[in-house]
Amino acid sequence: MRSIFRSQSIVAKRRKTIFSVLLVFFALTALSHSVAAHPEISVSEEQKMITVGDAPDQEVYAFGKSVTVSKRAKGVLAVGGDVVIEGRIEGDVATIGGNVIQKHDAYVGGDVIVIGGAYKPEAEKPERVDGKQTVVFGMLEDELKSVAQDPASLLSPSVSLSFFAQRLVLALIWFVISIAFSTIAPGAVGRAAAKLNLVPVKVCAIGAGVFMATGIIVIAGALTLPNFLAAAAIGLCMLLLLFGYVFGRIALHVSLGKWIQRTTFPSNNRSETLATLTGVLVWTLVLSLPFVWPIALFATFAFGIGLIVIAVSKAEFRPA
């Protein structure tokens, strides 16, 4: 039983640490160029490498650059670049879309967090403090690095043959999911689609409010609650967001497809399957448009969560 609670505590701590790193990433991207103001910190001529000399009280944040700590630093976060440790880092080291490279005789006093890369200590037993965590998610390194170096590419993805192939595959998957869900729960999908057609602004407003409240709960829970309560709160919020996105997208497919079918197709050439397929193709296209897809993605969450909240509130207050 102790081992179960201990593993849950470790998982919760890792989630909190990763969440803190991501929060720092979004909050401090604007400060990525300010580190050069410290006399012991310099930036290379090609603007690709930050070198840290003796700066024991300095937290270093780099966006789209690699960081080399030759002597001392308090902590380092690099987004889209590597962290090379030649000296000492007393606190945490983190990178998103890069590697943490710890040279021989280098020292790390805090946690090591790597998202989209690898932790590469050159020594067989790197100098670390006992009990500190090493969290590595070695996925999507190239994608994360390219986004960090060119953030505009996130809003305007490059159009290629593989891009269209991926969207076609996604459309097929969502078509199957929408048909399956409509077959299993036709009443719920039909009511949701009708609600979107009747009061879309109300549904979106409710969903957007709950969505933002969920984000606040996740942040507050990760930073203030005990580990097991934080893990439970974050898990429930993530479950709500996941179900809201899936249900909202299915309802949007059906509602949008029926509207297009009603306004475009002749009355003798209408079917549920054709309407769903039309809605899937159109919404997949909207989610692929440069600079438009973030708004469409937010709308999907908002509509889905709004539909869930309205359905739950009506079921709760319906007289027996």
Together in a domain, 105 and 213:
no
Together in a domain, 168 and 296:
yes
Number of domains in the chain: 2
Last residue of a domain, one of 118, 149, 180: 149
Q: Tell me, what's the pLDDT at 203?
A: 92
Say if pTM beats, i.e. exceeds, 0.75. no
Residues of the chain with pLDDT under 50: 1-15, 19, 21, 23-36
* DSSP-assigned letters across all residues of 83-149: EEESSEE-S-EEEESS-EEE-TT-EE-S-EEEESS-EEESSSS-EE-TT--EEEE---HHHHHHHHH
Q: Tell me, what's the pLDDT at 218?
A: 79
The rounded distance, in Å, linking the Cα atoms of 182 and 259 is 17
Q: Tell me, what's the pLDDT at 249?
A: 94
Q: Tens of pLDDT along 6-58? A: 444 444 444 455 545 454 444 444 444 444 456 678 877 777 788 898 888 88
Q: Are 94 and 88 in contact (CB under 8 A)?
A: no
Neighbouring CB atoms inside 10 A of 298's CB total: 14
Q: Are 178 and 281 in contact (CB under 8 A)?
A: no
Q: Are 291 and 156 in contact (CB under 8 A)?
A: yes
Together in a domain, 68 and 136:
yes
The rounded distance, in Å, linking the Cα atoms of 135 and 117 is 11
Domain that holds residue 144: 2-149
Q: Tell me, what's the pLDDT at 4?
A: 41
Q: Containing H/E element for 242?
A: helix 227-264
